[in-house]
Amino acid sequence: MARNQQDETEEARSLMRGLVAQQRDARAARWLLQELYEQKKWADLENEEQREFGHLLRLLSEEVPDDLGIKKAYADYLIRTNRQNQAVPYLVQLASVQPMFGLQAAMISRQAGEDDAATRYAETTLEKIQQLFEEEPASPQLAMANVQALIFLEKHADAVRLLSESIGRMKTKEHQAGLQQAMGDTIVVWINKIESEPNETVEERLRVLKMLQVALQYAPNNPRVLSLVADQVLKTLESDDKELGKIRAALVKGSSPGIANFIRGTAALLKGDAEKATLHLKLAAEHLPHSSAILNNLAVAMAEKKDGDLEQALEISEQAIESVSTPNAYFYETRGQILTKLGKHLEAIPDLERALAEESLTNAAHESLAVCFEALGQEDLAEEHRAAMTEEAETTD
């Protein structure tokens, strides 16, 4: 330390490293951590620095086992270096003071396929948080911690019940609003769990739609809720069940104008009414100008209209693609089909080939690829895509 004060920094660091290597000196290790790494971000560290940082943390976690700050830093280091399983024991120890570390340990264990351990950690976490929540029932942080643990344990009904009871206990409108949004998110997670289990019946559809009605009451502007409302309404369009139809209509009415018009426009598109689809999707785009799904469907509707403006449809399609970091096959298929109609066959081919990744789009994509290659004089490639269409049709039959 004296060397460091005399501006002989490198010699001081070398001496401290010697103490760490030869004597496992905890004070020297802590000094090096503070001197070299306290003010640095992980992304700024070179590989050798990352290794030394981890070595120092490990030494300190062993030599000073009661220092929870070091344990947390070492657990973070292990997770950053993709050694999540090694971090679990440290997270479990940290959970004795901060219970939510137990849920992090549960998540890592589940990812590793250790379901029994994951459940055990999550149940322990839930028990501790519930005790704290009984002492502070107006705490939004503890309410949310409870909900997260319940969702992890797939006790969705309990999570919804707890949120319903907690919203009225919150002391500020801001905290109430936060839990209302959480209610919407929790119901979405619950529905996704239901959807993951094969049980496609009218009763199940009714159950899901009724759950969405509740979600809309609590969180009418929650993007995840609104997106799921649109998906579920569109899924049930072909059903003739009267009760299903009533709830579907109520959901559309209860949605925001943007989502309601998106649903109506997409429904019209599926029924082949391009004029009506364009009208509603334009209205939806006015309310939600940055929605990639709305822009994509609007481009489709405009391209399918009789005497539709294909150049404008292309422009809107490109807006949809640019508005997301990873456009899906549907977006590329839309642009590819528009480019094909415009006679820009060479430009259309890459988009149509991307569309082949989505099974529901393959037949239409093969058909347009055949048109494109034929227009470019590549008859052999055109024939390959026509043959693929025939194979697809035979498989479907």
Least confident of 1-10, 83-92, 113-122, 235-244: 1-10
Tell me what pLDDT residue 6 has: 45
Higher pLDDT, 358 or 376: 376
| Spatial separation of the C-alpha atoms in residues 196 and 212, rounded to whole Å | 17
Band (pLDDT 50/70/90 cuts) for residue 326 is confident
Q: Which amino acid is at 262?
A: F
pLDDT per residue as tens digits for the range 335-347: 999 999 999 999 9
Least confident of 3-12, 88-97, 349-358: 3-12
Q: What is the mean pLDDT of residues 45-58?
A: 94
Largest separation between any pair of C-alpha atoms in the chain: 86
Position 229 pLDDT exceeds 90: no
The span from the first CA to the last CA of the chain, in angstroms, equals: 81
Tell me what pLDDT residue 147 has: 97
- Which H helix or E strand runs over 103? helix 100-111
**pTM over cut 0.75:** no
| Spatial separation of the C-alpha atoms in residues 32 and 52, rounded to whole Å | 10
Q: Are 320 and 292 in contact (CB under 8 A)?
A: yes
Using left for φ > 0, alpha for ψ between -120 and 50, and beta otherwise, residue 137 falls in alpha
Q: Are 340 and 350 in contact (CB under 8 A)?
A: no
Tell me what pLDDT residue 2 has: 46
Structure token pair of residue 246: 């009533």
pLDDT per residue as tens digits for the range 135-191: 999 999 999 999 999 999 999 999 999 999 999 999 999 999 999 999 999 999 999
Position 5 pLDDT exceeds 70: no
Q: Are 170 and 140 in contact (CB under 8 A)?
A: yes
Tell me what pLDDT residue 74 has: 95
Q: How many CB atoms lie within 10 A of CB 310?
A: 18
Tell me what pLDDT residue 226 has: 76
Position 106 pLDDT exceeds 80: yes
Tell me what pLDDT residue 252 has: 78
Domain 331-397 carries which CATH code? 1.25.40.10
Residue for token pair 């029924």: 271
Band (pLDDT 50/70/90 cuts) for residue 3 is very low
Higher pLDDT, 153 or 201: 153
95: three-class secondary structure by DSSP: coil
Q: What is the mean pLDDT of residues 300-323?
A: 93
Least confident of 104-108, 208-212, 309-313: 208-212
Position 239 pLDDT exceeds 90: no
Say what percent of the chain tops pLDDT 90.
64
pLDDT per residue as tens digits for the range 14-33: 899 999 999 999 999 999 99
Q: Quote the mean pLDDT of the chain.
A: 89
| Spatial separation of the C-alpha atoms in residues 43 and 35, rounded to whole Å | 18
Sketch the domain layout of the chain as residue ranges. Answer: 1-82, 331-397
